[in-house]
Amino acid sequence: MENNESRIRNALTAKHGETLEFGYDTDKLKEENKYRVKGNAFPKQINKFNWGACILTPVWGIFNNTPIACLIILIGLIPYIGWILGIIFSLYCGIKGNEWAWQNKQWQSMEHFHTVQKTGQ
């Protein structure tokens, strides 16, 4: 309690020309704001692996307005290492899939989002 009182006292007694220091936990703010998408919070409970984005990457990308997922077609054309990079990119799409889908498409509700992502309607 004394620690807080001294901070308040220091803030109230600051003289003209002195700068007041207010501390923000920037790491905590960044962590909280990474789930904000176009003003709507990205629900943490849907931050799971998206199998549709992983297995059917280009098809999933087209239907979820995520054209970056179609890069897998070009990645697969790279000689010798294209298939390895394609697998890595597919896994990355599976990890980021729900976030991208939430960001790039309008959803009626979280239940609607779950239904579409599970059944591909």
Q: What is the pLDDT of residue 113?
A: 84
Q: What is the pLDDT of residue 96?
A: 92
Q: What is the pLDDT of residue 7?
A: 52
Question: What DSSP letter does each residue of the chain carry, written as one string?
Answer: -HHHHHHHHHHHTPPTTPPP-----HHHHHHHHTTEETTEE--GGG-S--HHHHHSHHHHHHHTT-GGGGHHHHHHTSTTTHHHHHHHHHHHHHHHHHHHHHHHS--S-HHHHHHHHHH--
Q: What is the pLDDT of residue 49?
A: 92
What pLDDT tens digit does each residue of the chain (121 aa) get? 555 555 555 555 555 656 555 566 667 666 655 555 555 666 777 888 999 999 999 999 999 988 889 888 888 888 999 999 999 999 999 999 998 888 888 888 888 888 888 886 5
Q: Where are the domains of the chain?
A: 2-119
